[in-house]
Structure formats: C-alpha cells, structure tokens
Amino acid sequence: MESKQLKTSWQQRIVIGIIAFLLLFSTVAVYALIVLSNQNSKKTNEQASKELAKVEEELTAKRSELEAIVTELSGQYYEKMSNYRSKVRSYNAATVNNAGLTTSDLETGSGEEITAESSYYSYYIGWCADESVFDSSFDSWENPTTLIDPIAYTNGESQFVQGWEDGVVGMKIGGVREISIPGELAYGETKEICGGTNSPLKFIIMAVDPGDNYTKKLAEYNELMNQYYVLYYSQNQDLLNSTEE
C-alpha cells in the first residue's frame, strides 16, 4: 500500500512535466531578456557616444568662430586697454577702506548707461595695494600680447563683488572707469586676497559692446556646452551603473 502511494500517477507526471517546462522556459526567457538588455544597453551607449562626439565637434567649431571674433575685438580694444596699464599703482589700503566706494571716469562712453540690472561686457584690470595685479583681461600681465574674451556681467546676478556692481552703475558702454573698493564691499572675510581678508581692491573697467554676432555665437556655444554636460554625465552614469551591476 505504501509503495503504491510513493508512485506518481500519470496526471502528476504531466503536472511535473509542465512545471519543468515552465522552469526551463522562464530560464531561457530571463537569459534572452538579459542578452537583449545588454545589446540594447550597448546600442544606447554607442548612440550616446555618437551624440557626444557630434556635440564635441560642434563645440570645437563654435569655439573657433568665437575665437575669431575675440581676436577682432582684441585688435579693436587692446591698444586702448594697454594705455591704462600705467594707472596700476600702489595705494594705501587703509585710505581706500576708510574712503568707502569711490569711482573716477577715465573716459566717458557714448553708449547705453549701465543700471543696477544691466547686462554688459567688459575688459578689466584688478590689483592690490602693493600694485600686484591679481586678475586682468590680458593674456599675460608681464608680457601681454592680446585680450582674452570680454566678460559678460548682469548686475545683481553676476555673483561678483558688491563694489564692482555698485561701482559700474552710471558709466556708459564704451567708457572706462577706475573703481576703488573697500574690503567690506570686496571679498570681506569670505576670501583671502592681496595677502589677507578684508583687503581693498582697485579695478579699471572698460565697458564694451562686442556686437550681436558675438553675443549670438556665445549663446549658441553655451547651449551646446549644456548639451555636452547632460550627455557626458548621462553616459558616464550609465557606464557607472553597468559597472556596478
């Protein structure tokens, strides 16, 4: 009786066969899905790589177009800006700090007047009390040969020192202004510059109009750069995830 109970009926054997088939089928299906997933992932990575390469190529071309315009602008403003290098002299830090923000127009422009919300471009020289230049638009301060890209600013959004933003208000495009900034309106306690914190700064700023062609191509370049970052980090995140798996 017990031996009969141990035997499987034909119905049970059919059920076992079906289960075995289903297990085999599911195993094959899972394997197929994994293979297809890997193939799709490979295709996706290849496509992303192609897109990234395309954007890189467009970026290079757009940068070349910008550099050509920058060279023209340098030829237009370099000599004029170079004349103001002699204005970079040592000054008494305490005197500048005590005087507060002061400005002096070295040349009056004929363009639009800069307001507290204006967007504009500029070339500049920034220096410390000991006459050392900490930044400028020249490719080299010691042996300058050209001006680099004009810098774009929007007052209230540029995240530059407050003294600069307040100091350019009222000057006109095409003009040149010297601004003396006390430490509290420069970097204050947030940054060491010119040998310490709360250091006063001086700037000579030339507000320029680089032209519609430059602003248009710069906007196109920035848009391409954003696309590049999105594609680059997306692709690298996919590669990272596939590596972790």
Chain segment 139-190, per-residue pLDDT in tens: 999 999 999 999 999 988 877 899 999 999 999 999 999 999 999 999 999 9
Query: Residue 31: what are its φ and ψ, rounded to 5°?
Result: -60, -45
Residue 82 covered by a domain: no
Assess whether pLDDT exceeds 70 at residue 16. Answer: no
Q: Which whole number is the average pLDDT over 41-61?
A: 80
Q: Are residues 135 and 195 in the same domain?
A: yes
Please report, for the domain that includes residue 115, its CATH number: 3.10.50.40
- Residue 80 falls inside a structural domain: no
Whether residues 186 and 101 fall in one domain: yes
User: Is the pLDDT assigned to residue 31 strictly greater than 80?
Assistant: no
The pLDDT of residue 228: 87
User: CA of 189: how far to CAs of 46, 114, 184, in Å?
Assistant: 49, 28, 8
- The answer to whether residues 100 and 177 belong to one domain is yes
Residues 201 and 116 in one domain: yes
What confidence score (pLDDT) does residue 113 get? 97
Show the tokens assigned to 97. Answer: 């700090």
Residue 3's pLDDT is 39
178 phi and psi angles, rounded to 5 deg: -100, 130
DSSP 162-197: HHHHHHHTT-BTT-EEEEEE-GGGTTTTT--BTTBS
Cα–Cα dist 123/107, whole Å: 14
Same domain assignment for residues 206 and 220:
no
DSSP the chain: -HHHHHSPPHHHHHHHHHHHHHHHHHHHHHHHHHHHHHHHHHHHHHHHHHHHHHHHHHHHHHHHHHHHHHHHHHHHHHHHHHGGGGG-----HHHHHHH-SEEEEEE---SPBP-TT-EEEEEEEEE-TTS-EEEESBS-SSS---B-PPEEEETTTS---HHHHHHHTT-BTT-EEEEEE-GGGTTTTT--BTTBSS--EEEEEEEE---HHHHHHHHHHHHHHHHHHHHHHHHHHHHHHHHH-
Residue with tokens 């810098």: 151
Question: 202 and 121 in one domain?
Answer: yes
Measured CA to CA, the distance from residue 216 to residue 155 in angstroms comes to 20
- Position 57 in a domain: yes
**Closest alpha carbon to 218 in 50, 49, 73:** 73
Round to whole Å and give the CA distance between 227 and 233.
10
**pLDDT greater than 60 at residue 111:** yes
223 and 189 in a single domain? The answer is: no
Which pLDDT score, from 0 to 100, does residue 25 have?
Answer: 47
Q: Specify whether 182 is located in the same domain as 228.
A: no
Tell me: do 105 and 65 sit in the same domain: no
Domain region containing 156: 88-210
- Is residue 60 in a domain? yes
Tell me whether residue 144 is in a domain.
yes
Regarding whether 203 and 174 lie in a shared domain, the answer is: yes
Same domain, 22 and 121: no
Read off the pTM.
Answer: 0.75
26: pLDDT confidence band, cut at 50, 70 and 90?
A: low
Domain count of the chain? Answer: 2
> 242, 226, 228: which is closest to 49 by C-alpha?
228
**Per-residue model confidence as pLDDT tens digits over 54-72:** 988 998 999 999 999 999 9
